[in-house]
Chain A
Amino acid sequence: MGKTKIKNRLYKAFIYLLLVILAVIILVPVGWVFLASIKENSEFYGNPWMLPKGVYIQNFIDAFQEAKMGDYLLNSVLVTGMALLLLLIIALPAAYVLARYKFKGSKLCNIMFMGGLFINVNYIVVPIFLMFVNGDKWLKNLIGRGFFLNNMFVVALVYAATALPFTIYLLSGFFATIPKDYEEAAFVDGCGYWKTMLRVMMPMARPSIITVILFNFLSFWNEYIIAMTLLTGEEQTLPVGLMRLMQAQQAAANYGRLYAGLVIVMLPVLILYICVQKKLTEGMSLGGLKG
C-alpha cells in the first residue's frame, strides 16, 4: 500500500517539475526583456543575469523619440483600428446574408470564401505589391502623385481583405445556428431586411464578434510582412520599426533602447491578453483552426 503512495507522490512531483520547467522557459525570456528595458547601457556588459541597478527610464524616452517608436505606435494603432472597422463593416453583413439567404451565386460565394482560407498572404504579397507599383505609376502620369504605396489606409484595406475568409467563415458558422423564428418574428413586427439584420441579428452575434475582433486585433497588430512590403518609406508600423531598431542596435550596440522598444510592442498585447485570455482560448474552439 505504502509503495503505491510513494509512487504516486513521485509521479505528482515529476509532473509539477515538467510544468514548472516549461513555465520558466516561457516566462524567463519575457521577464528578462522587461528587466533589461530599465538597465543602463553599461549594465549590458558582464553577466546577463544581473538585476538592474535602478529604473533607467531614459531608454523609453530614447525609444519613443529617437528611435521613433512613438510614431510607429501611432501608426500601428491607426492601421489596426481602421482594418478592424473595415473588416467588421464588410464581413458582418456578408456573413449574415451568406448564412441565411439563398440567391443566385450564393453557393459560389461560399465556395470562394472557403477556398480563401487556403490562400496565405505570404504567397500573394509580391503580386499585391506589383499591383500597387503599377497603380502608382499610372496615377503619377495622371495626377502627378501616387496613392497606393506608403499609405496606411491601403495597408488597412489589405489587412481587412485578407482576413475576410476566416472572419466570414467564423461568423456565418454562428449565424447558421440561430433559429429562423427570430427573423420571422421581426418581419411580422414590420422590420425590413436592414432593420432585422442590424437590430435583431447583430446584437445576438456579439460573442462571435468579440472573438473576431480579438483574433484579428492580434494578427493585425503583429503583422509585418505586408507592412514591410507596402510601406517602403520612413512611416512604419511597430513590428517593422522594431526590426529596424534591431538592425540598428547590432551596429551601434545600444541595447537599452531595443529592449524598451520590445516592451512597447509587447505590453499592449500582454495587457489585452490578461484581460481576455479566457475568451481567447474559448474562441479557439469556436473558430477551429487559424494560421
Chain B
Amino acid sequence: MKNRKGKTGFIAACVLPAVILFIIFMLIPTINVFKMSLYKWGGFSNTKTFVGLNNFKILFQDAKFYRSFQNSILLIVLVTIVTMGLSLLFAAILSREKIKGQNFFRIVFYIPNILSVVVISAIFSAIYDPNQGLMNSIISIFREEGKTPILWLGDQKLVIYSLMIAMVWQAIGYYMVMYMASMSSVPESLYESAGLEGAGRVYQFFHITLPLIWNNIRTTLTFFIISTINLSFLFVKALTGGKPDGASEVFLSYMYGQAYTNSSYGYGMAIGVIVFLFSFGLAGLINLATKREVLEF
C-alpha cells in the first residue's frame, strides 16, 4: 500500500510539470487561435465582439490575402521541387559513388541548416544588394556596361524567386542528409546484380533507389509543405518584410502583420485558421496521391 502511494506521487511529480506547461503555452493558445477567429477584436482596447464567421467572409474578399496565398503556393511548389530534386541528386552521388572528400562535402552542405534564418537573410540581402552585391557583380560580367542594376528584392516580379533561392540554399543539406540515411539501407547486392545486367547509373537511380526509399520521400513531402509555410514566414519577416508593396507577403507573415502590427487580432487569427486547415488538407491530399505499394528489400 505504501509502495503504491509512492508510485502515484512519483508519476505525478514527473509528468505534471510537463503537462501543465504544455497546456498553458501550447494547448490553450491553440484553442485561442480558433476562438479568437470568431471575434472582432481591436487589440488593446479590449472591445471584443462576437461576429461568428464574419472574419472569414471578409477574408475571402481580401485581395491581399489572395496575393499572399498565391505567393505561398508558388513557394511551396517551387521550393519543394527544386530542393527535393537537388538533395536527392546529391544524396545519391554521395552515398552511391566513391568520392574523395565525401565527408567534407557532407559537412559543408549541412552548414546552412544550422544558421539562423536571420543570419541567412542578412547574408542574402548582402548578396542581392543592387550595387555592391555578389549577384549583380557576377552578372555584370555578362552584361553591357551601364545597364541599370537588377533589384533582386525590390522588383515585384523577382522578389519571390529571390526568396526561393535563399530557401533552397538553406534546405538542401538537411534533406540530403536525411535521404542519405535512407539510401544507405538499400542493400548493395541489388545494385550489383543490376550492374551485371548492364543497367546504368541513371536507370539504377530511378528503378532501385527511388522506389525503395519512396516511403521516406512521402514522409518528407508532407513535412515539406508544413515547413515551407513556416520557413517562408521566417524568411519574409527577416529578409523583405513583405516588400515591395506586399509582393513577397506569404500566409503567416500576413497573419502576423494583421494581428500584431495592425492589431486586428480576430482577423489575423482567422487567417491562421485557414492556413492551418489548408496545410493539413494539402498534406493529407499529397499523402493519398503518393500512395504506392511499399517495396520490401
Contacts and interface: CB of A to CB of B under 8 A. Distances in A.
Interface stretch (A51-59, A139-147, A239-247): A239-247
B25 A285 contact: no
A126 B259 CA distance: 7
Contacts of B71: none
A188 interface: no
A46 B255 CA distance: 40
A48 B178 contact: no
B263 to A, nearest CB: 11
Contact of A222 (B106, B117, B172): B117
25 contacts: A15-B93, A16-B99, A18-B93, A19-B93, A22-B90, A22-B109, A26-B108, A44-B132, A49-B137, A116-B22, A122-B252, A123-B30, A126-B256, A128-B25, A129-B260, A131-B28, A157-B25, A165-B22, A194-B10, A239-B117, A270-B114, A274-B107, A281-B106, A284-B174, A284-B181
Contacts of B90: 18-19, 22
Given A22-B172, A265-B118, A284-B181, A291 B223 contact: yes
A98 B15 contact: yes
Interface in A243-259: 243, 246, 258-259
B276 interface: yes
A10 to B, nearest CB: 13
Nearest to A291: B227
A-side interface mostly: helix
B105 A23 contact: yes
Interface of A: 11-12, 15-16, 18-19, 22-23, 25-30, 32-33, 36, 44-49, 90-91, 93-94, 96-98, 101, 103, 109, 112-113, 116, 118-120, 122-131, 133, 157-158, 160-162, 164-165, 168, 192-194, 197, 218, 221-225, 229, 239-240, 242-243, 246, 258-259, 262, 265-266, 269-270, 273-274, 277, 280-281, 284-285, 289, 291
B226 interface: yes
B84 to A, nearest CB: 14
Given A222-B116, A246-B122, A91 B18 contact: yes
Contacts, number: 234
A202 to B, nearest CB: 12
Interface residues of B, number: 87
